[in-house]
Amino acid sequence: MLEHEIKNKVLTIGNRKGQTVYYAYPKSQQKLTNDMVVERIVRETSLSEGDVKNALVSLSNVVCDALQLGMSVDLAELGSFRLVVPSKMMDTPDEVTVANALKTPKIVFTPKQKMRDAANAVELSIDKGSVKSSTGGGTTTNPDESETENPLG
């Protein structure tokens, strides 16, 4: 479940300048840690904890190596990683050089349908109990939640 709280702010520009507006802001969400992922894979397979950890480290190395070579990486049911290099518009062909025209490469992840379906199936909620100001920059946590609890079982 992705929980949201209601926040407000006063608009400083546009047709609604000076008006207080309200919006949904995500509360801090639960995190599935690396140890939780390893534990779950160990339970669901015949792999040992060490095997799973080594496989995850190796996967990271393989993906990084492939991206460094400019390759895309297909990770079966998860999706794929690829590099995108945005380019600046130049006035003449001579100005189009690596140093002048190409921006910093970005990594793009494209999920497969199974992952998209999982994201679309998430339950959303808005806590209408209290309206909080948008000033300040912290996150709120639920003291009733255990940080060691694995939400996937």
pLDDT by position in tens, the chain (length 153): 889 999 999 999 999 999 999 999 998 888 999 999 999 999 999 999 999 999 999 999 999 999 999 999 999 999 999 999 999 999 999 999 999 999 999 999 999 999 999 999 999 999 887 665 544 444 444 444 444 455 555
Q: Which residues, 6 or more positions from 119, have their beta carbon under 8 angstroms from its beta carbon? A: 111
Domains and CATH numbers, the chain: 2-133 (4.10.520.10)
At 136 the pLDDT is 42
- How many angstroms separate the Cα of 18 from the Cα of each of 9, 11, 55, 130? 9, 5, 55, 22
For the residues of 48-110, what is the DSSP string, one character each? -HHHHHHHHHHHHHHHHHHHHTT--EE-TTSEEEEEE--B---SSGGG--HHHHB---EEEEE
At 33 the pLDDT is 95
Strands 2-10 and 124-133, by their bridges, are parallel
The reported pTM is 0.67
At 133 the pLDDT is 52
Helices (H) and strands (E) in the chain, counts: 4, 6
The DSSP element (H or E) to which 116 belongs, if any, is helix 113-120
At 28 the pLDDT is 82
Instruction: Determine if residue 14 is left, alpha or beta; phi over 0 gives left, psi from -120 to 50 gives alpha, anything else beta.
Output: left
